[in-house]
A and B are shown apart, each in its own frame.
Chain A
């Protein structure tokens, strides 16, 4: 219950006070003498502030100032002085209370020379305002990140695209199959670089959102240099520049894809801003790491620009008006280097060139990721790359045998008959081994081997496979000096015979057992 109101002559005044008690905010009314004459019920129940009818405004303010219950805009004494001086003046202010609530305190003079104060809880309103502000800022940041991403994508994808254009143009005119194949290989790498770039750029978009987590692994720097070489050598050659990668020794530990982005931006800039001379990419040992340097003989950077080159959209005066990129590359470098905690340095002399470097920590060579983790005989088996001509007229057998031999890493050239095999030799196939079926439709395998050997012009190793286990047939093959296996051919036996023919011919006995162990055979 509120204190009884100051005596008044009319009964309906009490009704007015009862109405004021249930207002949704606290009310204090002060007399001209600065004494509290009224405090409504809402005020008393909502805020644990020491008020009683008759206290002075000065006492109320002093208690408020030193209660430590709310955050004041200035120190307590100053605030106290200011508030006392402002008695009767119109004002409105928000105060944050220790319990986390925000109170709006509004005061206004009364006609009798006193003052009314209202206390409203605006916690929810303020919280909504803050949430709205945050949402607005996030939306603006996302929008900015999106446009920055698009600018960066445009910038970085131009490098491999430029290489690709040159390669396609050259490839169309190239007649030498070897050069053509080299160029196609380089094109394949350029597209894979573009693919990686898109991935990296997506990461950069996420960088702004703080969502990129570097994946630190140990790896060989040489692998990275090789990729950069493929990416830039065509552009450098087009400009008549020497681009040299000094083969590095060393295992480093950082995020491989992000480091590649850093170095690729260095090299791209070096190629772009160097007109004469060349670019050398190499590294030096430092106390705790490896400093990777990109040295160019370009125009150099003025001292006053050396800090600013890492700013977004920075372009030097000479660059402006030229078709020279958007000035994003080094900003990307800076952000990536910050993320990876890698120091980036720049030394430069105008007219002589620049050295951009990044220092990376050394990794554990034993932990370095090898290129191949999934291994098979196609990677390093004993027959890898061995050229074999297979003559077999049965389509299914030819296909099955081809698959088996390819699984062992053999370069199989399959033919259905002698004529097709001859055509293979004429087209440049140079076999190290001939595997021929005995009963070919028009010819006998033994004769085909002889004919093929003549076509090759050398006594190529050869063997016969036959479904005909007649002793007479076997004998006739052996008398031609050829080893023979009886179908169905056991893969291990075929492997041993092939090995002996290719690598240990002294172990080949034409009369060795031809029968295969039962079951589990190649047809």
Chain B
């Protein structure tokens, strides 16, 4: 039995090496900052929290499952809290469910819904702290329809082209986009075409797209370097269309490679640091702790998940080690029931999915969902411009420089930013 002063071990599976090491480093920093803040205020009901990091390297199923086992068997962690790991496809849920501990992640996976709902009793402790990848699809379609209907952009047609990478995440998003398109007056004129990724070679598929003369071109592949090559090749012979690139285009690497070719592209994230007072204060603390080169918008994920978990465990009367199903069920109950406003919006778990509900595509109330944020790169040397949704947006959409016969002047939007938020 643990004594009152003994630390509470909390595991965190982060890619400290391998292709996602940059994100992994931020997830680690987010955990460290959260734990430092919590411990400074007395820890978990008086017990200090001790984070233990497991490197998930390339984030394959074997590596992530191995990390979960190591944390459970060697360190007897009461919970595993982290950002995302691409690749395990929920296989890490098995050792976690066997141990009956809490697992909070941001894997952005539709299959989380199916896994949890297939056996809610077994997976009681598995929580996805961001919306499923699926929601990128209808969210994006609503976004371009909003640009169109609010007069910010006049598309030359209703045709959209969808290119997908070969990872499940990209395929699911591409499928979801295609499925939602017709409801909002769009016609999928190309794709979803799955391209084998990783790749730097996009010219062939771009030529195929060109034949359909789309008003919108979306690429749901998400590797920053690949997307940078895509955008450079697009700009070499552009089409008169809006270009949307999935998540990876938010990374500094993307700007570094694509440079001025970046300007004008749209990118989005279902989880990202907000630019309101809460978000800014967090970023200041984060940079003060880890240095100006740090990326608070990535680190905020594990940071918020850890804080939310700690509050829930305190509400439940404490955390439970592997095997203490009863106590951990109480923690899970508290996590599900508590609406938590994090620095990146609201964490509210859907009672059946045990995944966060997105705003505005599912809930229309910003206090009840995590915002799906749309950014535009308006000047690759500066921060991304947050152009949707209200009330979090800080800038407005501008016409990309490659679009023909149109100026890059800011067009007046019909709706205003009601909270008067301003950019950095």
Complex-state Cα separation, A372 to B196, whole angstroms: 29
Complex-state Cα separation, A251 to B149, whole angstroms: 8
Known pairs A223-B183, A249-B185, A517-B65; A370 contacts B194 (CB<8 A)? no
Q: Smallest Cβ distance from B365 to chain A, in angstroms?
A: 10
Is there an interface contact between A222 and B182, defined as CB atoms closer than 8 Å? yes
Interface residue A506 (Cβ < 8 Å from any Cβ of B) = yes
Known pairs A247-B185, A249-B148; A380 contacts B175 (CB<8 A)? yes
- Chain A: CB-nearest residue to B389: A366
Query: Which listed residue (B89, B118, B132) contacts A495, Cβ 8 A?
Result: B89
Is there an interface contact between A381 and B180, defined as CB atoms closer than 8 Å? no
Interface residue A220 (Cβ < 8 Å from any Cβ of B) = yes
Complex-state Cα separation, A513 to B60, whole angstroms: 13
Interface residue A286 (Cβ < 8 Å from any Cβ of B) = no
Interface residue B398 (Cβ < 8 Å from any Cβ of A) = no
Query: Which listed residue (B145, B176, B362, B389) contacts A249, Cβ 8 A?
Result: B145
Query: Which listed residue (A249, A367, A504, A520) contacts B97, Cβ 8 A?
Result: A520
Is there an interface contact between A520 and B111, defined as CB atoms closer than 8 Å? no
Interface residue B184 (Cβ < 8 Å from any Cβ of A) = yes
Interface residue A250 (Cβ < 8 Å from any Cβ of B) = yes
Query: Chain A, 259-295, contact with B by CB distance < 8 Å: what is the 0/1 string?
Result: 0000000000000000000000000000000000000
Complex-state Cα separation, A408 to B137, whole angstroms: 18
Q: Quick one: which of B7-24 are within 8 Å of A by CB?
A: none
| Size category of the binding interface on chain A | 35 or more
Q: Smallest Cβ distance from A177 to chain B, in angstroms?
A: 24
Is there an interface contact between B97 and A368, defined as CB atoms closer than 8 Å? no
Is there an interface contact between A370 and B180, defined as CB atoms closer than 8 Å? yes
Is there an interface contact between B91 and A492, defined as CB atoms closer than 8 Å? yes
Interface size in chain B (residues, C-beta < 8 A): 51
- Chain A: CB-nearest residue to B146: A365
Q: Quick one: which of B120-155 are within 8 Å of A by CB?
A: 122, 132, 134, 137-138, 142, 145-146, 148-150
Interface residue B364 (Cβ < 8 Å from any Cβ of A) = yes
Query: Which listed residue (A251, A370, A381, A382) contacts B138, Cβ 8 A?
Result: A370
Complex-state Cα separation, A496 to B88, whole angstroms: 8
Is there an interface contact between B114 and A407, defined as CB atoms closer than 8 Å? yes
Interface residue B95 (Cβ < 8 Å from any Cβ of A) = yes
Q: Smallest Cβ distance from B111 to chain A, in angstroms?
A: 6
Is there an interface contact between A503 and B171, defined as CB atoms closer than 8 Å? yes
Interface residue A379 (Cβ < 8 Å from any Cβ of B) = yes
- Chain B: CB-nearest residue to A384: B175
Complex-state Cα separation, A493 to B168, whole angstroms: 14
Known pairs A222-B184, A366-B146, A367-B360; A376 contacts B88 (CB<8 A)? no
Q: Which residues of B contact A490 (CB under 8 A)?
A: 91, 94
Query: Which listed residue (B98, B137, B184) contacts A520, Cβ 8 A?
Result: B98
Is there an interface contact between B196 and A504, defined as CB atoms closer than 8 Å? yes
Is there an interface contact between B91 and A493, defined as CB atoms closer than 8 Å? yes
Q: Which residues of A contact B142 (CB under 8 A)?
A: 365-366, 368
Query: Which listed residue (B89, B111, B183) contacts A220, Cβ 8 A?
Result: B183
Q: Quick one: which of B180-209 are within 8 Å of A by CB?
A: 180, 182-185, 194, 196
Interface residue B361 (Cβ < 8 Å from any Cβ of A) = yes
Q: Which residues of B contact A376 (CB under 8 A)?
A: 110, 113-114, 117
Q: Smallest Cβ distance from A494 to chain B, in angstroms?
A: 10
Q: Smallest Cβ distance from B214 to chain A, in angstroms?
A: 16
Query: Which listed residue (B62, B95, B175, B196) contacts A382, Cβ 8 A?
Result: B175
* 16 sample A-B contacts, Cβ–Cβ < 8 Å, listed by A number: A222-B184, A222-B185, A248-B185, A249-B148, A249-B184, A366-B389, A366-B390, A368-B184, A372-B138, A376-B114, A381-B111, A384-B175, A493-B91, A495-B111, A496-B91, A519-B98
